[in-house]
Amino acid sequence: MTDEPLKTRHQEILNSVVRAYIETGEPVGSRTISKRRNNALSPASIRNVMADLADEGYLSQPHTSAGRIPTEKAIRCYVSSLTAGRLPMNEVDRLRSELGAVHTVEARVERSSHILTELSRAVGIAAAIPALAQELDQIELVPLAERRILMILVTRDHMVRNRVVALDEPIGADELASIRNYVNLNFSGWQLGEARRELLRRMAEERALYDAMMRKLALLCQKGLLASDTSPEVHMEGASNLLGLDLHLTRERMRDLLHALEEKERLIELLDRFLENEPGELEVHVGLGDAHPAMKDLALIGMTVRMPSGLPAKVAVLGHMRMQYERVMCVVLNTSRALASVQF
């Protein structure tokens, strides 16, 4: 059951209460709101409206003599009335320039989380989620000491994966170059799974058993060459910013929260749970206690986008419910747009 829309006066006063609470963190009284408003509404009239808002679950009163504190419901209602602010053009240009200066998915995801943290003073999270059917761009094979090989796999969505493998027999630099050229010439543009299956089929042919290069290629395939790895690329920065917030957490609960934010799987779970809309739609979620008990006083502002390579990505800021929503919405929106539009 959805709540009835608030009357205009009630919405305006609720917004004033939430703004005052975000600024001070203190209970808000009717006199404070009266001083903030330009019209001639008396403190008594404001007090009556605030009493109505309390009855409807938008405001709570910690003490009889104190002012009112907005509830999660109130902050959600306030946020729904907002639109993202505008970043100054010099910040937009700097943002696009910083992302354009790096040329891999991993680097852009990491840079995005840094930008989000820097501009919001909260926790910046960015993640790229590979498609299940990534396409091969190219491989590179680099000989190392002690019969080890560095296998570099680059996919068309600009993800780069490095893997060092140890072999039972040596493969020379010329042989590695032949293998690299063969794979790149024959399989660039193929989906990884299909390329790997076709390679295995070719190597199973009887004549391939007598081909030294194919035999060495089979060794590398056994070590994971062209193996499809769809693990997300996730970066989080700014967790220390939570330490200065009044989250009413014990030291142990705060430690649990910080540990949770360090786990890639938990971050992906958080983003997947709350960022469900179509790419390009800004989402705001207030009160995240269902995701983790220590997150009940936190809010998440984020967006799903598609990078120029087609790779899905999620960008978000995690912060206190008393964050400056218009500013953070603006930061997330512009970072997301830059990540989606700046070409590799």
Mean pLDDT confidence for 304-317:
91
Q: What is the mean pLDDT of the chain?
A: 90
Beta strand spans in 129-237 (E) = 136-143, 148-155, 160-166, 233-237
Q: Cα separations (Å) of 304 from 128, 158, 191, 199, 337? A: 10, 18, 24, 35, 10
Q: Which two tokens stand for residue 42?
A: 């008396």
Question: In 86-205, which residue ranges form alpha helices assigned H by DSSP?
Answer: 89-100, 105-120, 173-187, 192-204
pLDDT band at 316 (very low <50, low <70, confident <90, very high): very high
Which CA distances in Å does 330 have to 55, 83, 336? 33, 8, 10
Cβ pair 202, 208 in contact under 8 A: yes
Q: β-pairing, 283-286 with 59-60?
A: unpaired
Please state the rounded mean pLDDT for residues 69-88.
93
Contact 177, 149 (CB under 8 A): no
Q: What is the model's pTM?
A: 0.82
pLDDT confidence of 209, banded at 50, 70, 90?
low
Cα 90 from Cα 333, distance rounded (Å): 16
**Angle, CA 241 vertex, CA 240 and CA 247 arms, to 5°:** 105
Task: Kindly state the percentage of the chain with pLDDT values over 90.
Answer: 58
Structure tokens at 192: 């990884």
* Per-residue pLDDT at 65 exceeds 70: no
Rounded Cα distance between 336 and 138, Å, is 28
What average pLDDT score do residues 27-55 get? 87
Q: Is 294 exposed, middle or buried (0-12, 13-18, 19+ CB in 10 A)?
A: buried
Question: What is the rounded end-to-end Cα distance, in angstroms, of the chain?
Answer: 46
